[in-house]
């Protein structure tokens, strides 16, 4: 199996309204030996403002962005080509499933490429942050985990890597972070092969679902929201989202909950400590066999016979599963459609006809692409396609379309209120706060100010 270890640097934290500026990758063989490196940089989209805070962290200068040799569209096409050339691949990052993967999906979506490229067609995903969490729980002592002033464990890559003797000289630079991620993954695979195998198996949704179905008692860990490791058994999958599975914490006696009234089930899901948790099978959950349980795992002190008896009670009850999954499916209010096309990424798949048009779009010269955009059945694709042509080749648009999108760009930059994108006014506020708090290189912040003043002059 081929692995693509990667990292991105972006203009900000919003997957829908920021963009990737740098994509660095190290491609390895099955033994994690590097076979290829890729380092791509692109220019800003015409409707995106780079966050001063993001530039201060990464050290990227406005002139560097403007001088990149690729447009955003060209970079995303290169990323797609890289993945397809090596497929099937395992895409591996650090905190990537929560962040970088969302940035990639939005980039594919907004450039009319396959949204789920990294986890379909045999491609799967791993997150070394999950791997580090698992190693800290199930191979204690393997990693040196730094702590903060409050004594809490810190899993930030720029602190975890050097704490374990791994070179990380240029933190928040994509290639440096990619190398640190690869080194950390190799360290865990060599030092805790059982942990590696468990997380490697959970990299695909079908495998994670099969594990929870097969294993009567298993260990489940979620350290992202202050939760810890528990011994659990499967209850059932959310009927509205089969990737989300409810599990029962076997430190609790199920006899207290099995016959709870259906109307009381939603409050049970919010009870602390929670006897019922959810596992997202499509996000490489930390699921390991019962045999790896240790003192870090709640319920480890209970007799195995008792744990299996409790698991059997949960699985055999005639209507406990139905009550639980109904409550899980209905615990949030109905999804409201956003007025912004960027936020509508998960509102359904393109039709087969639109998929064929998307393929044709990328094959045609720019002069012919706007005619293809007009044929899309999906209004989202029409909006994104027109915007894409405007960003890459505005000269091939009609005068009406160009003026309309120019006005949209200006209104976006000058908008007031709490917009989901960064405006010129909020960018200046962010810059002022950086200077007040003493964060960021003074020369770099000066260049950022010049960039913002140029935008302000042009659009105000």
pLDDT tens digit at each of 460 positions of the chain = 999 999 999 999 999 999 999 999 999 999 999 999 999 999 999 999 999 999 999 999 999 999 999 999 999 999 999 999 999 999 999 999 999 999 999 999 999 999 999 999 999 999 999 999 999 999 999 999 999 999 899 999 999 999 999 977 776 789 999 999 999 999 999 999 999 999 999 999 999 999 999 999 999 999 876 678 999 999 999 999 999 999 999 999 999 999 999 999 999 999 888 999 999 999 999 999 999 999 999 999 999 999 999 999 999 999 999 999 999 999 988 888 999 999 999 999 999 999 999 999 999 999 999 999 999 999 999 999 999 999 999 999 999 999 999 999 999 999 998 999 999 999 999 999 999 999 999 999 999 999 999 999 999 8
Work out the burial of residue 356: count CB atoms within 10 Å of its CB; fewer than 13 is exposed, 13-18 middle, 19 or more buried: exposed
Q: Are 347 and 337 in contact (CB under 8 A)?
A: yes
- CA atoms of 124 and 331, how far apart (whole Å): 29
Residue 59 has a pLDDT of 93
Domain ranges of the chain: 1-192, 204-331, 350-425
Select 1-192's CATH number: 3.40.50.720, 2.120.10.90, 3.30.420.10, 1.10.10.10.
Answer: 3.30.420.10
Residue holding tokens 């998307």? 358
Residue holding tokens 């006899």? 255
**The token pair that represents 111 in the structure block:** 């450039």
- CA atoms of 339 and 187, how far apart (whole Å): 46
- CA atoms of 320 and 255, how far apart (whole Å): 11
Residue 336 to residues 243, 325, 343, Cα–Cα distance (Å): 21, 22, 11
3-class secondary-structure state, position 139? coil
| CATH code of the region 204-331 | 3.30.1520.20
- Evaluated on CA atoms 201, 202, 207, 212, the torsion sign reads positive
Q: What is the pTM of this model?
A: 0.96
What single-letter DSSP state applies at residue 421? S
Helical H segments across 364-398, by residue range:
366-373, 379-392
């Amino acid at each position: 199996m081929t692995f693509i270890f990667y990292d991105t640097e972006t203009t900000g934290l919003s997957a829908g309204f920021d963009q990737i500026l740098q994509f660095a990758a190290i491609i390895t063989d099955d033994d994690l030996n590097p076979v290829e490196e890729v380092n791509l940089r692109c220019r800003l989209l015409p409707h995106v403002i780079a966050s001063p805070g993001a530039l201060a962290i990464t050290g990227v200068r406005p002139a560097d962005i403007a001088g990149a040799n690729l447009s955003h569209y060209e970079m995303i096409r290169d990323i797609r080509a890289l993945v397809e050339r090596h497929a099937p691949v395992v895409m591996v990052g650090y905190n990537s499933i929560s962040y970088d993967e969302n940035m990639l999906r939005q980039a594919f979506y907004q450039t009319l490429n396959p949204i789920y490229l990294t986890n379909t067609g045999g491609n799967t995903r791993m997150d070394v942050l999950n791997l580090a969490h698992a190693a800290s729980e199930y191979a204690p002592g393997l990693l040196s985990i730094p702590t903060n002033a409050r004594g809490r464990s810190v899993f930030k890559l720029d602190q975890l890597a050097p704490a374990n003797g791994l070179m990380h000289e240029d933190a928040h630079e994509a290639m440096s972070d990619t190398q640190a991620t690869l080194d950390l993954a190799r360290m865990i695979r060599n030092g805790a092969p059982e942990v590696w195998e468990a997380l490697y198996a959970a990299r695909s949704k079908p495998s994670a679902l099969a594990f929870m179905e097969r294993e009567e008692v298993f260990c489940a860990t979620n350290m992202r929201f202050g939760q810890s490791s528990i011994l659990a058994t499967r209850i059932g999958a959310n009927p509205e989202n089969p990737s989300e599975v409810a599990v029962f914490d076997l430190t609790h006696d199920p006899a207290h909950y099995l016959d709870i009234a259906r109307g009381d089930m939603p409050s049970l899901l919010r009870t602390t400590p929670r006897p019922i948790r959810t596992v997202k099978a499509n996000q490489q959950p930390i699921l390991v066999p019962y045999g790896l349980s240790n003192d870090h795992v709640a319920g480890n002190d209970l007799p195995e016979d008792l744990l299996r008896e409790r698991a059997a009670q949960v699985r055999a009850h005639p209507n406990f599963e139905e009550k639980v999954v109904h409550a899980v499916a209905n615990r949030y209010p109905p999804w409201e459609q956003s007025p912004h096309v960027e936020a509508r990424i998960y509102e359904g798949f393109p039709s087969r006809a639109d998929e064929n048009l998307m393929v044709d779009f990328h094959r045609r010269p720019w002069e012919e692409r706007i005619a293809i955009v007009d044929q899309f059945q999906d209004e989202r694709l029409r909006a994104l396609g027109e915007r894409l042509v405007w960003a890459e080749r505005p000269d091939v648009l009609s005068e009406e379309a160009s003026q309309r999108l120019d006005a949209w760009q200006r209104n976006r930059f000058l908008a007031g209120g709490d917009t989901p994108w960064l405006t010129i006014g909020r960018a200046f506020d962010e810059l002022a706060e950086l200077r007040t708090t003493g964060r960021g290189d003074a020369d770099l912040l000066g260049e950022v100010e010049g960039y913002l003043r140029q935008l302000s002059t042009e659009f105000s």
